[in-house]
Structures are given as structure tokens and as C-alpha cells.
């Protein structure tokens, strides 16, 4: 069989491009902000993970430009060889201090961070318990390791306990959960996870990519939100969201960090994050510390938008305080048509389709920034309601409308 047969038979992209509802790879023409220019038109941006609104902050930009001039464009190697800068060490020290952990280690991307941590720690005699809705990088991290994956139903603590109870104590056990789940905005039941970990002699790792800068009085994330910072063994996070840069990190006890540092192939054999990435992440961290009101502003604007959407009769998830608000659209074509109409009317959102959502349970993911205004949320919610409340439920009706009138 020809290796490329699968590629030639892959027709779904052409299908949705032909219908005019393909939703991906729209090109930004301005920096990330609450309003952007995208393909020649103003769009309200509620599909970004720029939670603290710092990606376009002039202080961040100036920090990156000055660092670029001082250190150049890259490091030309791994941290083991020539790639360690004083900026990396300073960033790791400041992050460890902020997160109340002994030590910190940075990686080139958030995805690589999970690959690097899990593949180093999970050995042949270890079990890794993961929530079914964890990020794909956690799944791939377990697959890259020699450990065995044990999945439990999303946020189902009884099911997690059942799985833990079935294991022999001779195995090492690591429970990994997203702090804030990226699609649903659900917040992990960390108190119960910690309780079960102590009961069954397991360790706890939290992927706080969407919790850092968002939850907790100081923005330290899910563990601070639940006052469990001393009970979480490993905190993982990214720089590409609240910290307005690119890269990732793990924070843990010094011995754990040292072990990963010397045994993680994704860390050892990758170039370090660029000088500008390190400097801008550090600057964003300093701004978060100097302006601790930003996480509250973020949750306040998310609460405002959630209330507006519910008042307009839209079906949204209302059980979380996180700045991720999914709007349920169910059918795949209905979701794609809704996103296309919203985009054309000037609102940028993200479709959540299989495999990120079960078949028939598609949604539109909206996410918010501390710098969004209520006036902008009023405008966006009016457009969302206008589009979704006038959208047919039937895929046949949608296909007929598209064939007759276009999207």
C-alpha cells in the first residue's frame, strides 16, 4: 500500500473549504489584542489565550526588543551545551519563588514541557492516572514514557478512586490533571485529587497552562485557588498564555527538577527558548506581581460576559469562574457555519469539533482577557446572539441554505 494513500483519501478539509466554512489559519495582521485586524477587517478577539492582555503590552515589547539587541536572536543549542543564558536561570529562579517551589525548569514549548516531564518520570513500573479530558500533550507524554496510562472519567473522583484502589502498592503512581480544562473551562477538583493521592500513596501533577495568571489571589493558579500549593508535587505551565511569550516550565522540589533536567530527552536534545522569549516571560511575570489586580479583572469580565450570554438565551457552561466560556452548538456543520457567520460579522471565536469534543457535542469556545471592556463584551454578545438564535438546528436545512445562498 502507498504510504500517502491516507493523505490522498483525506477529503474533509476540501469538503468544508468547498462549503465555505473552513475555520482555521485565519491570518492576523496586527498584534494580539482585544480587537485585531484579521484578513482586512476588524474582529473582536474572544478566541485567544492572552488572558492578562499582556501580549501587546508596550513594556513587554520593549523588553523583547532590548533583549534581542543584547543577546541576539537565538541560543544555537541546548541548555546542556551552549544554550543556557543568565536570563534562563533568572526566569527559573523567579518562577520558583513566585510559585512557592524549590526549583523550576524551562522548556521550549508548553507541549514539550509535558512530554519532557512525564517521559522522564514515568518508568516501566509506574502508573499515570489521567483525566480523560486532559490536554493532548499529557497523553503523548505518557505514550512517550515507559509508564502505563490509566484514564478516569472527566472529573469523576469515584472513578479515580476505583482505579487507584485496583493498583498494587508496588507501582509508582502519578495523578495528572489539567488545572483549568482548556475546552470546557472546568476547574479540576484538586482537593479531592490531593486527598486520594495521600490515601493511595500517589503523587500529583497539575497542568496549569490555563490556570496560571487566572486563578488564585495572586494569580499563582489552581493550587493557590484551593490553598493546596504544598500538596501539589509538580506544577506545569506555559509562557504562551498569561506570560505573553513562548515556552513552558515545571516547578517542583529541587531533586525532582534535577532528575528531569538530566533524564528528559525532550529537554536535553532541544534548543533552549530564545533570549527574547525568556525576557518577555520574565517581564510579564514581574507585571503580574506588580499588578495583582489583573486576575480579578479577568474573572470579572468573564463573569460579565457569561451573564450577558445567559440573559440572551444562549446555552453556555455556567458552572465555572474560568475565563473560558463554551457555547453549545452540538452539530459539526452548525458549529462551522456559526463560526463563519461570527467571523464575517467581526467576532473571532474557536470551534471545538471531534476529537476535541464528542460527536454531536460540538461547541464554540470563547475566552477572555483582563483588558476586555464591558462595552466590547456587549457588542460581541449581541452579535453572537443574533447569529446563534437564528441558526437552524438541522444539518439538511443548513446544507440547503448554503447551496442556495452561500454561508
Reference 366, options 401, 399, 331, 342; nearest CA is: 342
Q: Are 367 and 326 in contact (CB under 8 A)?
A: no
As given in the structure block, the three cell numbers for residue 272 are: 533552549
Q: How far is residue 269's CA from residue 219's CA, in Å, rounded to a whole number?
A: 32
Q: Are 129 and 173 in contact (CB under 8 A)?
A: yes
Residue with grid cell 476586555, as numbered in its chain: 372
Q: How far is residue 221's CA from residue 224's CA, in Å, rounded to a whole number?
A: 6
Catalytic pick from 163, 173, 210, 283?
Answer: 210
Reference 314, options 349, 346, 278; nearest CA is: 349
Catalytic pick from 63, 119, 137, 182?
Answer: 182
Q: Are 362 and 184 in contact (CB under 8 A)?
A: no
Does residue 241 carry a catalytic annotation? yes
Burial (CB count <10 Å: 0-12, 13-18, 19+), residue 7: exposed
Three-state SS at 271: strand
Q: What radius of gyration, in Å, describes the C-alpha atoms of the chain? A: 22
Q: How far is residue 41's CA from residue 277's CA, in Å, rounded to a whole number?
A: 29
Reference 274, options 96, 88, 114, 112; nearest CA is: 88
b/e per residue, 123-152, with b = 16+ CB within 10 A? eeebbbbbbebbbebbbebbebbebebbbb
Q: How far is residue 148's CA from residue 143's CA, in Å, rounded to a whole number?
A: 8
Catalytic pick from 135, 163, 241, 372?
Answer: 241
Does residue 135 carry a catalytic annotation? no
Does residue 341 carry a catalytic annotation? no
Give me the half-sphere count of Cα atoms (radius 13 Å) on the Cβ side of residue 274: 15
Cβ-proximal residues to 341 (8 Å cutoff; 6+ apart), any chain: 387, 391, 407
Catalytic residue numbers? 182, 210, 241
Amino acid at each position: 500500500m502507498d504510504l500517502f494513500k491516507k493523505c490522498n483519501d483525506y477529503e474533509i478539509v476540501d469538503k468544508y473549504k468547498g462549503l465555505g466554512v473552513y475555520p482555521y489559519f485565519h491570518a492576523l495582521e496586527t498584534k494580539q489584542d482585544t480587537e485585531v485586524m484579521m484578513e482586512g477587517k476588524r474582529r473582536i478577539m474572544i478566541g485567544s489565550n492572552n488572558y492578562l492582555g499582556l501580549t501587546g503590552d508596550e513594556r513587554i515589547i520593549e523588553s523583547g526588543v532590548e533583549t534581542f539587541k543584547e543577546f541576539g536572536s537565538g541560543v544555537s543549542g541546548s541548555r546542556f551545551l551552549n544554550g543556557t543564558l543568565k536570563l534562563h536561570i533568572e526566569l527559573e529562579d523567579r518562577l520558583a519563588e513566585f510559585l512557592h517551589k524549590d526549583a523550576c525548569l524551562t522548556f521550549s514549548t508548553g507541549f514539550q514541557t509535558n512530554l519532557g516531564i512525564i517521559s522522564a518520570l514515568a518508568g516501566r513500573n509506574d502508573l499515570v492516572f489521567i483525566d480523560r479530558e486532559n490536554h493532548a500533550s499529557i497523553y503523548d507524554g505518557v505514550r512517550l514514557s515507559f509508564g502505563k496510562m490509566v484514564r478516569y472519567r472527566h472529573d469523576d473522583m469515584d472513578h479515580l478512586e476505583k482505579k487507584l484502589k485496583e493498583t498494587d502498592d508496588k507501582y509508582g503512581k502519578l495523578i495528572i490533571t489539567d488545572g483549568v480544562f482548556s475546552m470546557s473551562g472546568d476547574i479540576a477538583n484538586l482537593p479531592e485529587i490531593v486527598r486520594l493521592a495521600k490515601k493511595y500513596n500517589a503523587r500529583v501533577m497539575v497542568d496549569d497552562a490555563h490556570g496560571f495568571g487566572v486563578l488564585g489571589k495572586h494569580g499563582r493558579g489552581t493550587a493557590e485557588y484551593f490553598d493546596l500549593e504544598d500538596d501539589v508535587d509538580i506544577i506545569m505551565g506555559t509562557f504562551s498564555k498569561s506570560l505573553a511569550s513562548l515556552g513552558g516550565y515545571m516547578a517542583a522540589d529541587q531533586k525532582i527538577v534535577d532528575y528531569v533536567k538530566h533524564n528528559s530527552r525532550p529537554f536535553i536534545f532541544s534548543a533552549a527558548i530564545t533570549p527574547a522569549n525568556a525576557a518577555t516571560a520574565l517581564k510579564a511575570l514581574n507585571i503580574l506581581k506588580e499588578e495583582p489586580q489583573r486576575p480579578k479583572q479577568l474573572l470579572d469580565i468573564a463573569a460579565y460576559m457569561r451573564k450577558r450570554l445567559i440573559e440572551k438565551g444562549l446555552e453556555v457552561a455556567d458552572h465555572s469562574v474560568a475565563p473560558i466560556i463554551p457555547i453549545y452548538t452540538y452539530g459539526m456543520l452548525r458549529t462551522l457555519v456559526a463560526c463563519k457567520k461570527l467571523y464575517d460579522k467581526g467576532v473571532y471565536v474557536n470551534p471545538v469539533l471531534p476529537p476535541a469534543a464528542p460527536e454531536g457535542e460540538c461547541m464554540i469556545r470563547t475566552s477572555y482577557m483582563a483588558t476586555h471592556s464591558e462595552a466590547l463584551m456587549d457588542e460581541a454578545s449581541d452579535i453572537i446572539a443574533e447569529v446563534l438564535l437564528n441558526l437552524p438546528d438541522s444539518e439538511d436545512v443548513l446544507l440547503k441554505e448554503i447551496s442556495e445562498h452561500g454561508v
